């Protein structure tokens, strides 16, 4: 059994003093990535590449004149064909030994690792992540594949001998796959989340139909393109097109036994209710957050302002784990605000593949319009401390660039404080006591991530004891609420942030894709 180790590319570059080499490899990869743009990409159904005459263009959110690719637009019939193919492939794939399945995903992880700079460069164009965020995304996909292979082997395919007081009865429990899974993936982690969910389904012996986000389908295409020829025809299928059509088809199909979904609460809850309205079937969902950070008077304000800023504005706040509200104790609120506003104003906004850029574009025009509406509401009901502008300089006019925005003096029940925006938009609220702050932080339908900054150990213990979130951090100045690492920090949502209470990248994740059978043999 191969032990698990995180890929951790940028972290190793720092620790090993190979930062220059990292940047050199990335710059070369940008040139290689550009050669790929504009190609046509197929559906993959039943082990066949299928090119449709009906296609849609995916352009870079940084520059609408850069065409990432032309993707085949799947129909309802195509999706049903993919489901049928997956159903037909289930018996042979589920009977493939768990050791062989683990081996295949390690091979895929190794392939991704060998091409990680190329895949990172692709992503900076595809969804606008800067090179560090994009590398973290690719690393996480690699980690998911290796960690789940490790877990499968560690648990011996999830088969366990049990004891019985009658020596003539030999008993064991074994976890078995369900069948066909529909995988509905988001744009913000087009490698990590799409591949992580699909790996969870496939490595446990299920078959799958992957539907990536229409704004960012290329990253997961590379995964399916490597994998589909190494497993039975139909075990993995890839369909691209409208989420409202293809996702709906997957959820409504009687032949789909499970759904793994990452996206908004609204879409996730609708899907869950539809999928389970007539029967009990597993629906694994991660549905966003309105993640708080708490800054106490005992905090290191330099670290706190750095950590909150990174968590709020990394990838433009387009993360389920992004910090979108911060509660600051009155004693230090003015100092904290001064520091975070000053730091935020210095962030470089631009083309995300450029070396010193922190913030690229939001994903599309709808996000830009949503930003404008949020800013107008903030000006009406609160105070904008910095940001609030759509950027349209000559360099940025072909993309969806907006300023990171900090707002204060909003009522606690205001929609900007309560609703997930998925934008570079941070609300600063004040409080008197830590108990007040924790209560305010918990007053949300979500419970994904949360952070605190304090040098008082008793306050940290109180926070960990009372906060209602699945992934929580203390004094994390690299990022107050984001950047969980596979194995170390399983990513799990409470309340309306998730449906199962079991975290991706954790030791309990794979069991959700299987059901238990107890087996008894009598002498």
The residues annotated with a catalytic role in the active site are 286, 320
End-to-end Cα spacing for the chain:
33
DSSP state of 4: P
User: Which residues, 6 or more positions from 504, have their beta carbon under 8 angstroms from its beta carbon?
Assistant: 144, 193, 196, 197, 200, 286, 486, 490, 491, 492
d(C-alpha 116, C-alpha 218), whole Å: 14
User: Which residues, 6 or more positions from 291, have their beta carbon under 8 angstroms from its beta carbon?
Assistant: 311, 321, 322, 323, 324, 325, 446, 448, 449, 450, 451, 469, 481
The count of other CB atoms within 10 Å of the CB of residue 352 is 27
User: Which residues, 6 or more positions from 138, have their beta carbon under 8 angstroms from its beta carbon?
Assistant: 112, 116, 119, 120, 123, 191, 192, 219
Q: Tokens for 523, please give them.
A: 């002498």
SS3 of 14-79:
HHCCCHHHHHHHHHHHHHHHHCCCCEEECEEECCEEECCCCEEEEECCCCCCCEEEEEECCCHHHH
Given a contact cutoff of 8 angstroms between Cβ atoms, the answer to whether 413 and 435 are in contact is: no
Q: Tokens for 487, please give them.
A: 């194995």
Q: Coil, strand, or helix at residue 86? A: helix
d(C-alpha 479, C-alpha 322), whole Å: 9
User: Which residues, 6 or more positions from 483, have their beta carbon under 8 angstroms from its beta carbon?
Assistant: 136, 314, 321
């Amino acid at each position: 059994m191969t032990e698990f180790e995180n890929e951790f590319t940028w972290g190793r570059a720092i620790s090993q003093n190979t930062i220059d080499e990292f940047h050199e490899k990335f710059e070369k990869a940008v040139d290689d990535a550009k050669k790929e743009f504009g190609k046509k990409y197929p559906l993959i159904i039943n082990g066949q590449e299928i090119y449709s005459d009906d296609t849609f263009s995916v352009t870079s959110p940084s520059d609408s004149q850069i065409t990432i690719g032309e993707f085949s637009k799947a129909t309802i019939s195509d999706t049903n064909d993919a489901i049928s193919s997956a159903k037909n492939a289930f018996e042979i794939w589920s009977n493939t030994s768990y050791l062989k399945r683990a081996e295949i995903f390690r091979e895929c992880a190794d392939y991704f690792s060998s091409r990680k700079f190329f895949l990172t460069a692709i992503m900076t164009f595809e969804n606008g992540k800067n090179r560090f965020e994009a590398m973290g995304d690719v690393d996480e996909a690699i980690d998911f594949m290796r960690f789940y292979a490790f877990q499968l082997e560690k648990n011996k395919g999830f088969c366990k001998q049990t004891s019985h007081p009658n020596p003539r009865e030999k008993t064991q429990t074994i976890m078995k796959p369900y069948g066909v899974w529909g995988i509905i993936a988001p744009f913000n982690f087009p490698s990590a989340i799409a591949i992580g969910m699909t790996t969870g389904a496939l490595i446990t012996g299920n078959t799958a139909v992957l539907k990536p986000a229409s704004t960012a389908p290329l990253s997961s295409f590379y995964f399916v393109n490597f994998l589909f020829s190494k497993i039975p025809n139909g075990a993995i299928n890839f369909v691209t097109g409208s989420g409202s059509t293809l996702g709906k088809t997957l959820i409504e199909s009687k032949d789909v036994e499970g759904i793994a979904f990452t996206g908004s609460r609204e879409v996730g809850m609708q899907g869950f209710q539809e999928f389970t309205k007539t029967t009990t079937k597993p629906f694994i969902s991660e549905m966003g957050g309105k993640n708080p950070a708490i800054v106490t008077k005992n905090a290191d304000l330099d670290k706190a302002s750095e950590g909150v800023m990174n968590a709020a504005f990394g990838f433009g706040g387009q993360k389920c784990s992004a910090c979108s509200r911060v509660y600051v104790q009155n004693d230090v609120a003015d100092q904290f605000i001064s520091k975070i506003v000053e730091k935020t104003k210095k962030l470089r906004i631009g083309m995300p593949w450029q070396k010193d850029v922190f913030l690229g574009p939001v994903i599309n025009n709808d996000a830009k319009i949503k930003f404008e509406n949020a800013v107008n509401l903030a000006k009406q009901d609160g105070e904008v401390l910095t940001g609030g502008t759509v950027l349209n300089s000559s360099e940025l006019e072909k993309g969806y660039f907006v300023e990171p925005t900090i707002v204060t003096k909003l009522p606690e029940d205001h929609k900007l404080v309560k609703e997930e925006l998925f934008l570079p938009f941070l609300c600063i609220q004040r409080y008197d006591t830590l108990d007040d702050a924790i209560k305010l932080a918990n007053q949300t339908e979500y419970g994904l991530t949360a952070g605190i900054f304090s040098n008082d150990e008793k306050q940290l213990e109180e926070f960990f004891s009372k906060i209602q979130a699945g992934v929580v951090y203390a004094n994390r100045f690299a990022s107050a609420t984001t950047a969980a690492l596979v194995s170390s920090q399983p990513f799990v949502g409470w309340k309306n942030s998730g449906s199962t209470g079991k975290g991706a990248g954790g030791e309990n994740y794979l069991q959700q894709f299987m059901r238990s059978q107890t087996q008894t043999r009598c002498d």
